[in-house]
Amino acid sequence: MSILVDGSTKVICQGITGTSGAFHTKGCFDYGTKMVGGTTPGKGGTKDANGLPIFDTVQDAVDATGATASMIFVPPPFAADAILEAANAGIEVVCCITEGIPVQDMVRTKHILKEFPDCCLIGPNCPGIITPGIRVDGEGSSATFRDGCKIGIMPGYIHVAAADAPSGKSVGIISRSGTLTYEAVWQTSAMGLGQTTCVGIGGDPVRGMGFIDLLAKFDADPETDGVVMIGEIGGTDEAEAGVWIKENMSKPVAAFIAGRTAPKGKRMGHAGAIIGGSDDTAQAKMDALKSCGVSVCESPAHLGIRMAEALGIDVPQEVAS
């Protein structure tokens, strides 16, 4: 199984005619995602390079296609309104890739989204979500897949569907870091593990779904055997997730916290990655997770190994060391 999206999910792209929107719509379309259209105000009634219909509004797109998920590549000044437009149109999974959205815009958006409890927001400033498809043919970036759903910018070919996992076990992946999401995927695939769903939640301080929201979904998914969780400096989300894991999680969790060498008070890359006190340093978060029974990696190079060990999969000694 999977969480949030699967091969039957119908997806639209808000901002489909922009450079990034057009490029990544094609990537998702080629992967096998059921891309059913997109929106650009003023261009309704036309089609994109993939032959997908373009609509003026999200409501028009939903009415015509039955879409339940949206991928947002709208410029930062308008992206928060794009999120709310999608929610108002009944979109169930809104994946906002856009980075640089003003924090106050997201504070307002999060408050209004309380009126739409059935809408799940992923991001902003994130790589997206993917439920890997079953490999049909080919290798590497030329491989073809079926029954998967890729929304966003993740490289689909590095993923392994649960049905294709050599070990017979699969994991869910949750990450604040885009690049480390891909690293975790690559490593778990190399260990013979599949991935049920991978979610990049984004590094902004105000965002949609968090660790606990997704841990609960993975814990309830019968096909997910464990979870890889990747956090960063800044905020308290990881420590709170640790407590939730200790009290509620029935499956093993392997974690890594990025930013151990970041100086206090200095912004490091993501808008949310800034140490404000002793409790949100990488080491403090690592200690908190360890105290809750989470298998914490000292290096991102060990994510696949620790997850495999937690699932009882034999790891060669030369690899484990």
Contact 173, 181 (CB under 8 A): yes
Q: What is the DSSP letter of 142?
A: G
In whole angstroms, how large is the CA radius of gyration of the chain? 19
Contact 14, 74 (CB under 8 A): yes
Does the annotation mark 270 as catalytic? yes
State the virtual CA torsion across 202, 108, 41, 66 in degrees, nearest 10. 70
Q: 78-117: buried (b, 16+ CB within 10 Å) or exposed (e) per residue? A: bbbebbbbbbebebbbbbbbbbebeeebbeebeeebeebe
Contact 68, 33 (CB under 8 A): no
Count of Cβ atoms closer than 10 Å to residue 241 Cβ: 27
Task: Kindly list the distances between the CA atom of residue 152 and the CA atoms of 3, 118, 122, 205, in Å, as whole numbers in the listed order.
Answer: 16, 21, 10, 20
Amino acid at 248: N
Q: Which runs of E-coded beta strand occur in the chain?
A: 10-14, 34-39, 54-55, 69-72, 93-96, 120-122, 128-131, 134-137, 144-146, 149-152, 170-175, 194-200, 226-232, 253-258, 295-296
- The active-site residue out of 24, 159, 270, 302 is 270
Rounded CA-CA distance 158/187 in Å is: 10
Bridge partners, residue 151, by sequence: 129
Rounded CA-CA distance 135/157 in Å is: 9
Catalytic residues: 270
